[in-house]
Amino acid sequence: NAGVTQTPKFQVLKTGQSMTLQCAQDMNHNSMYWYRQDPGMGLRLIYYSASEGTTDKGEVPNGYNVSRLNKREFSLRLESAAPSQTSVYFCASSDGLGSDTQYFGPGTRLTVL
């Protein structure tokens, strides 16, 4: 039982390049989330998927797109990376509504030059 897995662990991009961050969970959770963590700013929600087939914007969605591929997988895409997107990205999952515990992946450290 791996929980929430994220790939890659580290990535360096040049401005304008694109990439997709992958996230998968094996807990049969309905909801999945993407956050970014920046020093002094805590975690900010980028996008979330309340259930398979649905996605919604969070607090900071600009510059990102997401795909809920199936119940297990939720990917985050940067179409044209910018230095402001340098951050640590966390994927999380939960069983459903906000009363449920969120389970986090180990994170992806992204640097955009």
Partner 1 sequence: AQSVTQLDSQVPVFEEAPVELRCNYSSSVSVYLFWYVQYPNQGLQLLLKYLSGSTLVESINGFEAEFNKSQTSFHLRKPSVHISDTAEYFCAVSPSGTYKYIFGTGTRLKVLA
Q: Where do contacts with partner 1 occur on this chain (CB under 8 A)?
A: 4, 31, 33, 35, 40-45, 48, 50, 56, 58, 90, 92, 96-99, 101-107
Q: Check if the beta carbon of residue 79 is closer than 8 Å to that of residue 65.
A: yes
Of 65 and 102, CB closest to partner 1: 102
Q: How far is the CB of 83 from partner 1 (least distance, A)?
A: 22
Our CB check for partner 1 shows the closer of 19 and 88 to be 88
- The phi, psi pair for 84, rounded to 5°, reads -65, -10
Tell me whether the omega of the peptide bond preceding residue 106 falls within 30 degrees of 0, making it cis: no
Exposed / middle / buried, residue 65 (Cβ in 10 Å: 0-12, 13-18, 19+): middle
CB of residue 15 to partner 1, shortest distance in Å:
26
Nearest to 34 by CA among 75, 94, 4, 3: 75
Write down the least CB distance from residue 20 to partner 1, Å: 19
CB of 104 to partner 1, least distance (A): 3
By C-beta, is 17 or 88 nearer to partner 1? 88
Give the residue with the Cβ less far from partner 1, 75 or 102. Answer: 102
- Of 100, 111, 101, nearest to 8 (Cα)? 111
